[in-house]
């Protein structure tokens, strides 16, 4: 995509266990935070630590279209 970004590894407590995930922050006209999960979590739909709702998943094409439409 060629976008500028910052990468940060984040520790999250999950049922008393610490798990590490990668967050990508896109530096566009607005800030976009992406959470990157391990491939073996493909069937796990986590919940947002912000609002408790299920985290929305999207493909590269859907992400690109969403960001470009804003």
Residues 5-62: tens digit of each pLDDT: 899 998 888 788 898 888 889 887 778 888 877 788 778 877 877 788 888 888 889 8
The pLDDT of residue 49 is 73
The Cβ of residue 5 has, within 10 Å, a number of other Cβ atoms equal to: 13
**Looking at the whole model, is its pTM more than 0.85?**
no
pLDDT tier at 1, thresholds 50, 70, 90: low
Give 3-state DSSP helix, strand, coil % of the chain, rounded to 5. 15, 40, 40
Domain range annotation of the chain: 5-68
């Amino acid at each position: 995509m060629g976008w500028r970004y910052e990468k940060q590894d984040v520790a999250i407590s999950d049922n008393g266990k610490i798990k590490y995930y990668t967050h990508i922050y896109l530096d566009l006209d607005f800030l976009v935070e992406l959470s990157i999960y391990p491939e073996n979590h493909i069937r796990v739909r986590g919940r947002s630590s912000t609002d408790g709702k299920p985290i929305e998943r999207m493909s590269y094409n859907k992400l690109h279209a969403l960001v470009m439409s804003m």
